[in-house]
Structure 1
Amino acid sequence: MGQYKTPGVYIVEKSAFPNSVVEVATAVPAFIGYTERANNKGKSLLNKAWRISSMSEFISFFGGPPKTQYQISEIAAAAAAKAGKGGAAPAAAAAAVESDFASGDKEYVLELQGARYFLYHSMMLFFQNGGGACYVVSVGGYTDNIEKPKLNAGIDVLLKEQEPTMVVIPDAMSLAEPDCIALQQAALSHCGQVMKNRFAILDVFDGYKEAQDSGCIEKFRNDLGTNSLDFAAAYYPWLNTSIVQTGDLNFANISNADKLQELLKAEVDGSELDDKKKTEINGKIAEIGVTPKTATMSTDVDLHKILTAVCPLYKSIIESIKLKLNLLPPSAGMAGVYTMVDNSRGVWKAPANVSLNAVISPAVEITNAQQEDLNVTTAGKSINAIRTFIGEGTLVWGARTLDGNSLDWNYINVRRTMIMLEESIRLATKAYVFEPNVSSTWVTIKSMISNFLTSIWKRGGLAGATPEDAFGVFVGLGETMTPQDILDGMLKVTVLVALSRPAEFIEITFQQQMQKS
């Protein structure tokens, strides 16, 4: 109230209610990786965090899918090359190479040429599973090599962004294993030590392989370290999806077109078709890779349809390529699941026992016995399983952070709920910085936080039959502060919350009773 000097009537308005705490967003993932382009109407978006809310927006700003190519190699040649690189015996190397298709009495494999860029198809998997608003950080194009420094720089870009709550890096799976682990450690440090307000969703390197044979789980646990494990979760195995369709592929996805033509002609020549039909089909096979095309030649789209219809081997090769491209790491799909569960139930609901869309099956089938070591281990690094159940499809069957043995932070929903509460209250309390450190300010802050926590409790976010059982807010001289704290400019508030934990293990006891009638 000011000092009055002129006679008159003065109106003074007083606030009747304290400021309110606004719940921050909990499901805003940030994806880091390589895209076809990165521009907005001529303005470069390279190494910038750009917010999108749909796949059409992603395509508008970052382009389409990568033109992934595979080379057709006879299995004996592929085995010899593998033996030369690894020092293995040719026979052992041949046994380790799995055939993709057969032609005549020979078996062939499709070998990836160049890098595998996962981001585009991972974004499709994200939106298929309930994804919404998110950030994309493009660190390069499809002509660039996938490098750890560039992806690491993408993490640093997020230092300037406050909204993202999750970090997902699908393209990390294309790095060498030591670089992949180092990048994941950088993501853990970013989430748990630098920002402390976001959660990393990690993939297991080589997670499409059997854990017993490849040792991928053991390597992941051994190399990841122990820092900030409660700010991340990992999922195993990879997923066989239906993201890539047959119509998205053609002979352009095969790098050695001459070998494809050779195999297709051999198939046609060995068939029971009449000579006229053979000549006609061989003429179409000869058009593969020819540019520019004459007026009498079919377009690539029509040629692909013709070859699919008349050449079983061609159809088989395209199907094999589709299966390879549809093998995706699960992190992006899980980011979509987090978003869907947060929007429908709340961040305090564990993102588990939820089916995955656009997923045919996990790459590896896991039994109850195999999941025991994944879920509960002496090392504490719990890895969440994705499993298939008869009549239910593919379900997320784990809800633990990597800090699986911590009673405080072993569950994903507990850590993410606490992040939401901390960030919401922190941002609301900034309004009281430099306010007088007196009882009126303490009462206002306590009332503001209590009102917010009451609303969370009513929605099921906190455990307890009454608000007093669910939380407590303490502030004041002699309660949370000493006179010295006030002299030092400290205003200390203590908030206790009872977070709800999932019923991970349900035990039902049966016992016989005596007959009563």
Structure 2
Amino acid sequence: MTDPLSGKTPGVYINEINAFPNSIVQVPTAVPAFIGYTPKAEYNGKNYLNKPVKVNSFSEFEEYFMPARPAQPYSPQYYITEQSAAPANGDYLTLKNKIYTLDPDPNTIYYLYNSVRLFYQNGGGTAYIVSVGGYGSPSEAAMAHDENIVNPNIKLSELKAGLQTLTKETEPTMYVVPEATLLSKDDNASLMQAMLGQSEEMETAVSILDVLGGHSPDPVLYTQDIEGFREGVGSKGLCYGVAYYPFLKTTITQGSELGYTNFNGGNTDALFALLQNLEGANPALEEAIALIKNASTDANVGDMNQALMIVSKVYKELFNSLLSEVNVLPPSGAMAGIYTVVDNNRGVWVPPANVSISAAIKPTLDINNRMQEDLNVPSDGKAVNALRLFIGRGVLVWGARTLEGNSSDWRYINVRRTMIMLEQSIKMAIRAYVFEPNDANTWVNVQSMISSFLNSVWKQGGLVGSKPADAFNVSVGLGSTMTPEDILDGIMRVTVKVAITHPAEFVIITFQQQMQKG
């Protein structure tokens, strides 16, 4: 401000002096970026393909990326296949002493839509959506029952391109690609490595990963899925990655959203012939089938589907099995929502674990303590966090480790995410001091600003220590962090040390009997 006494006219002048230093505002910590396929990517006539779109609710997501009602937003196709024996993994039905499975047309399986729904069901808020393409054509055939679902309509190059668009966005703090598990094994590995590499380069987001094979894990050979995952993630950016296993059986999709058109590629003749063969003489079934065949194209499929379930016990079993299959989802969407809830209610420094997952019935594999030992503490450090069902408590997140499990610094996801928050918050505030004089006045202001921010975090429980001096230290100045040459070169160095809370992962209670007294 110009000195008021420099004026030459007699009078009263006011000179305002800043009483308070600049402050640091904590950056958002729970903003996932979902990348994948949607039926459309258009709003008000504008195309949003491969453009990150910020949404704040599920209804806003639908406006941009889903077709107008009453069209089915997502219509997977499943084929009814008779099996010679009960499969070792996956669900199956026994009808009239015959074993049947529902096997998907892999070209019709997508996860983004339901994963976003699962995100908001678990408390999600603001999110970025990157649509990389629309739904492709069906293959009109079922895949083999014992294979992982690979959708050829999902392209590695398109998902990578969508991921690349986020290099210009600093607000997202999580990368989530639910449809990564619909790629081939090699493509899945390539995408995971790209996600971890970009997370490490940006230093603003962690990658939440799903494990290939978690959809229908074999109770004995599931360890092969885990080993394949650990080989696939590579060795870079591991402290920015976190994985969850297995998939979840959810209640996201309701029965009213599906119908008999989701069987056998919409071939109702094949479905009805099977029902008539298994049911035998059933006049009510024949009447319902005739009604459906004579209905107009704009008839209410939902009502007729409900009527078909009432008159046919076999169809009801088939439909409930279909609903169960469609509701098997990768857990990354749910975890993004849980991160949001924990961050908002308790703080980013609290581990997102020992938390129940909403809309989840059970995991696709029942993991016990023995099975989790290698998942949680493997020799290579690439920990996979287990999702487990506990009687009376529901499905819980039972792990909080990153893929850098052998690092004492970055073993836990809350430590990594807290450091991202601190680094980015301080970085944004320090920009105000670029080109300021590199002298003692500036150093004091910077030190005071950072210390005040860290003191606030410590009071909230984000830093460990009985007093602020034990929780953090901020150093800046000539002789402590800088040399005369640094000042001549225009470099101001600030050193920040913090003690971040670590979770009590293993709680050990020791019991000992004592002698009777008195």
TM-score with structure 2 length normalisation?
0.91
Alignment partners' CA distance in 2, 1:106 and 1:362: 27
Superposed displacement of residue 423, structure 1: 0.3
Superposed displacement of residue 5, structure 1: 5.6
Structure 2 equivalent of residue 285 of structure 1: 289
Structure 1 equivalent of residue 35 of structure 2: 32
Q: Give the number of equivalent residue pairs.
A: 490
Superposed displacement of residue 40, structure 1: 1.4
1:216 to 211, 214, 225: 225
Alignment partners' CA distance in 2, 1:289 and 1:480: 81
Cα contact 1:99–1:108 (8 A) shared by 2: no
Q: Does 1:249 align with 2:258?
A: yes
Alignment partners' CA distance in 1, 2:54 and 2:165: 13
Alignment partners' CA distance in 1, 2:462 and 2:59: 34
Distance 1:467 1:75, change over 3 A: same
One-letter amino acid of the structure 1 residue matched with residue 110 of structure 2: Y
Superposed displacement of residue 160, structure 1: 1.3
1:233 to 237, 242, 246: 242
Cα contact 2:258–2:302 (8 A) shared by 1: no
Alignment partners' CA distance in 2, 1:513 and 1:103: 61
Distance 1:386 1:184, change over 3 A: same
Cα contact 1:243–1:358 (8 A) shared by 2: yes
2:96 to 93, 101, 104: 104
* Secondary structure of residue in 1 paired with 2:221: helix
Alignment partners' CA distance in 1, 2:129 and 2:118: 15
Alignment partners' CA distance in 2, 1:510 and 1:446: 48
One-letter amino acid of the structure 2 residue matched with residue 234 of structure 1: A
Alignment partners' CA distance in 2, 1:98 and 1:366: 16
One-letter amino acid of the structure 2 residue matched with residue 6 of structure 1: K
Alignment partners' CA distance in 2, 1:429 and 1:99: 56
Q: Does 1:388 align with 2:389?
A: yes
* Secondary structure of residue in 2 paired with 1:67: coil
Q: Does 1:20 align with 2:23?
A: yes
Q: Does 1:66 align with 2:70?
A: no
TM-score with structure 1 length normalisation?
0.91
Distance 1:301 1:392, change over 3 A: closer
Alignment partners' CA distance in 2, 1:31 and 1:45: 14
Distance 1:474 1:31, change over 3 A: same
Cα contact 1:32–1:168 (8 A) shared by 2: yes
Superposed displacement of residue 283, structure 1: 3.8
Superposed displacement of residue 338, structure 1: 0.3
Structure 2 equivalent of residue 162 of structure 1: 170
* Secondary structure of residue in 2 paired with 1:474: strand
Superposed displacement of residue 106, structure 1: 3.3
Superposed displacement of residue 290, structure 1: 6.0
One-letter amino acid of the structure 2 residue matched with residue 207 of structure 1: G
1:260 to 271, 274, 292: 271
Superposed displacement of residue 105, structure 1: 4.3
Deviations 1:10-32 (A, max 9, x none): 43222111100000000000000
Superposed displacement of residue 289, structure 1: 6.0
Where structure 1 has 5 or more consecutive residues not aligned to the other structure, the ranges are 77-90
Structure 2 equivalent of residue 454 of structure 1: 455
Alignment partners' CA distance in 2, 1:98 and 1:500: 40
2:207 to 191, 200, 203: 200
Structure 2 equivalent of residue 6 of structure 1: 8
Cα contact 2:108–2:136 (8 A) shared by 1: no
- Identity among equivalent positions (%) equals 51
Alignment partners' CA distance in 1, 2:268 and 2:88: 26
One-letter amino acid of the structure 2 residue matched with residue 258 of structure 1: D
One-letter amino acid of the structure 1 residue matched with residue 249 of structure 2: N
Superposed displacement of residue 7, structure 1: 4.5
Structure 1 equivalent of residue 344 of structure 2: 343
One-letter amino acid of the structure 1 residue matched with residue 104 of structure 2: L
Where structure 2 has 5 or more consecutive residues not aligned to the other structure, the ranges are 68-72, 138-152
Cα contact 1:264–1:285 (8 A) shared by 2: no
One-letter amino acid of the structure 2 residue matched with residue 23 of structure 1: Q
Superposed displacement of residue 211, structure 1: 6.5
Deviations 1:208-259 (A, max 9, x none): 3036414100111122111010001000111111111222111110113222
Range moving further from structure 2, 195-204 or 211-220: 211-220
